[in-house]
Amino acid sequence: MLELSGPPVAEAVYQELQTLLATLPYVPHLRVVRLGDDPASVAYVRLKDRQAKRLGLSSQVDVFPESTSQEELLAHIARLNADPEVDGILVQSPVPRQVDFNAVLEAIDPLKDVDGLTPVNAGRMWMGLEALESCTPAGVMRLLKHYQIPLAGKEVVIVGRSNLVGKPLAALMLREHATVTLAHSRTQDLAAVCRRADVLVAAVGKAGLITPEMVRPGAVVVDVGINRVGQNEKGRDILVGDVAPGVAAVASALTPVPGGVGPMTVAMLLYNTVIAAMRRRGRPTGERLQAAR
Ligand code: NAD
């Protein structure tokens, strides 16, 4: 079984970005907005901020209280949209109940939408147009490309239909000429649908949902899920994916959790930040841009 490890691929993205950054007469600036103190969001935001700085980008985290109103958040986004020094805006989800995340996404300037989640970028992805692509789906595609997993003409089954992962990943898989099925909570006989897959992607958030019987022998399995199933003796969260351990014995290739898709998500966020800066502020030659894709 081939382990589709994320960190070496993420590192390759960072090296390409470093080469690109050296050619730019400016430092791209990322602004991450976080509301409240959800522990997972705090950890993700810290990771994104640290990686951005490690790469040599300028990064700032704007923290607002849990009680922030939608109007206050939209006013802040309007300021970031108007600020010429800000290249990328990311609002960490989940947001508190009083805030409509879709309204937040609609307010973000699509040219600064480094999470690739605004309706404009989501629509452009479906149309096969140049877009800031959703980070996790773009990371999955980059990972599969790196390990030379063929997609054209293959049966790809994606379990999970969220706007964050499942739907945009379907758009990117379609662009690579896969035959795509989106399965979800109302899918009947999920096991039979999954067994059709040459490439099976689990993006649900339920530990152990994908069992060995649901995987065709030799299939490639991508585990996007991140589930906290307890803490170790050092008080650190124990993380597992959506794929049960026994699947490793059936699949030909599998992404580990942690250390698979997660690092790719962060890498693609920073890729998007550099690309967004280049598109807004002027870009070097198309040749260099191509090298980073
Ligand atoms: P979500 O809750 O928005 O969507 C979950 C999807 O799973 C829904 O479309 C739902 O229909 C489907 N689903 C629920 N129960 C099901 C079942 N029993 N059978 C089949 N389908 C079912 O979640 P999300 O934001 O898309 O995230 C999914 C998982 O991916 C979570 O564990 C999340 O933490 C993880 N995630 C990981 C990364 C990463 O970088 N690795 C990034 C984003 C999300």
Ligand 1 centroid to Cα of residue 171, in Å, is: 17
Contacts 24+ apart (CB under 8 A), 19-24: 19/291, 20/274, 20/278, 20/284, 20/288, 20/291, 20/292, 21/55, 21/56, 21/57, 21/274, 23/284, 23/288, 24/274, 24/277, 24/278, 24/284
Model confidence pLDDT, tens digit, residues 55-69: 999 999 999 999 999
Q: Where exactly does CATH 3.40.50.720 map onto the chain?
A: 149-259
pLDDT at 143 over 80: yes
**Ligand 1 pocket residue status of 261, Cβ below 6 Å:** yes
pLDDT at 289 over 70: no
Contact by Cβ (8 Å): 103, 70: yes
Model confidence pLDDT, tens digit, residues 175-232: 999 999 999 999 999 999 999 999 999 999 999 999 999 999 999 999 999 999 999 9
- pLDDT above 70 covers what percent of the chain? 96
Q: Where exactly does CATH 3.40.50.10860 map onto the chain?
A: 13-131+263-292
Q: Does 186 count as an annotated binding residue?
A: no
Instruction: Quote the CATH superfamily of domain 149-259.
Output: NAD(P)-binding Rossmann-like Domain (3.40.50.720)
Confidence band for 284, pLDDT divided at 50, 70 and 90 = low
Among protein residues, the one whose CA lies closest to atom 1 of ligand 1: 162
Confidence band for 282, pLDDT divided at 50, 70 and 90 = confident
What is the CATH topology of the domain spanning 13-131+263-292?
Rossmann fold (3.40.50)
